[in-house]
Amino acid sequence: MPDAIRLDKRVADLKGCSRADAELYIQNGWVSVDGSVVEAPQHMVSTEVVEIDPDARLEAAEPATILLHKPAGFDTISGRNPAAALVTPATRWADDPSGVRLLKRHFHRLTPLVPLDNDASGLMVLTQDGRVWRRLTEDGDQIEQEFVVEVAGDIAPYGLIRLNHGLSYNGRTLPPCKVSWQNEIRLRFAIKGAQGGQLRDMCAQVGLDVVAIRRLRIGKIPLAKMPAGQWRYLPVGERF
């Protein structure tokens, strides 16, 4: 039996390329061993059949950013029921329009960003990309988020005006936001810097009970028609 060698050396020999280029081919999911894609350049092979996808391209390994439709009852940043556990190859949205190729490494070291209450649903962000992390943490309070809030009860006089400007939360006066009726039981909030529990408290201050909260948008990125519990990639080049 031939001695085992690293996969990147075998690919370099087959492709007639450098070991560095061979690593890129492997890490980007273009190489299979006995029919299964292997993304680890250090994987050892001997008699196995190693194949390189004929469409293989040399390209930089881009970190992934994942957009999840978080169901109610899951935790975003920390907690016993992390929404991040929902992100698996099997739960990728079939209609994901990003064009990004699914790779195993996209599921490693994903950092959840932009908190969303446990009892709320909607758009959630997880990323490997330091640029996205900086944008959503350092500039997070300047990025508008859109929510639909289902409510019950009768709104207090001038309640809608007060929701737009005139309420306080946790001892501080809230900056103006944009709140309007979407229909008889749903309010639309376009708001910056929302804190945990803030929307529920704002509604309570004007006599409304919150039935459900769903986040529809973060900056320029919408939830779209993605079903709850499924995810898609943020396309390369799109920004919050």
pLDDT in tens, 155-193: 999 999 999 998 999 999 999 999 999 999 999 999 999
Q: Please state which CATH number belongs to domain 144-218.
A: 3.30.70.1560
* Domain 5-52, CATH among 3.10.290.10, 3.40.1390.10, 3.40.50.150, 3.30.110.60: 3.10.290.10
Output the pLDDT for position 237. 84
Its pTM surpasses 0.95: no
pLDDT in tens, 86-131: 999 999 999 999 989 899 889 999 999 999 999 999 999 999 999 9
Residue 23 CB-density burial (10 A; 0-12 exposed, 13-18 middle, 19+ buried):
buried
Spelled out in words, what is the top-level CATH class assigned to the domain 65-140+221-233?
alpha beta
Give yes or no on whether 5-52 and 144-218 have one common fold: no
Output the pLDDT for position 67. 98
Residue 199 CB-density burial (10 A; 0-12 exposed, 13-18 middle, 19+ buried):
buried
pLDDT in tens, 24-72: 899 888 899 998 899 889 999 998 999 999 988 888 778 999 999 999 9
pLDDT in tens, 203-218: 999 999 999 999 999 9
Distance CA 68, CA 190 (A): 20
Report the Cα–Cα distance between both ends of the chain, in Å, rounded: 54
CB atoms within 10 A of CB 55: 6
Residue spans per domain, the chain = 5-52, 65-140+221-233, 144-218
